Amino acid sequence: MAKDVRDFVRTRADGRCEYCRLPETADEWPFHLEHIVSRQHGGDSEPENLCWACSRCNLNKGPNLGSIDPTSGDSVLLFHPRRQIWADHFQYGDGRIVGTTPIGRATARLLGMNTSSRIELRRRLSELGEL
């Protein structure tokens, strides 16, 4: 991937994961340039199909385009950072990211956004005013 595309996507995201909103400065692992629609499913490498993602979100998402809403059991598409607004699908509170829609719930669960280590990290960042 060209460095200028990588820098553009990173800057557009303000250095935060576009799924879980973690600042890259707070993570122990480098962030990834993520294909929202994976190449396996025909996604290209244009900026409109790319987002900045922490390694945990990227690796848990893998090539998935959808998952199951844990509340309804329905199959739904995952959150799309270019086409949807984060606050329309998620809420943040006390270290947790809560899905407020079927898309938000399915994405938060599949990407493992609320592991105990992530909740603890978000609480610490929140106390420092960095989240």
Residues 29-88 that bind Zn ion (CB under 5 A): 54, 57
Q: Which is nearer to Zn ion, 19 or 90 (CB)?
A: 19
108 lines the binding site for Zn ion (CB under 5 A) = no
Token look-up 């984060």 returns 86
Neighbours of 44 (CB within 10 A): 11
Residue 13 binds Zn ion, judged by CB under 5 A: no
Contact (CB, 8 A) for 21 and 130: no
Task: In angstroms, give the least distance from the CB of 131 to Zn ion.
Answer: 12
Taking the C-alpha atoms of residue 80 and residue 86, their distance in angstroms, rounded to an integer, is 9
Binding Zn ion (rule: CB under 5 A), the pick from 9, 13, 16, 19 is 19
**Residues 6 or more apart whose Cβ sits within 8 Å of residue 23:** 15, 16, 125, 130, 131
Q: How far is the CB of 97 from Zn ion (least distance, A)?
A: 9
Taking the complex as a whole, the smallest distance from the CB of residue 60 to Zn ion amounts, in Å, to 9
Residues near Zn ion (CB under 5 A): 17, 19-20, 54, 57
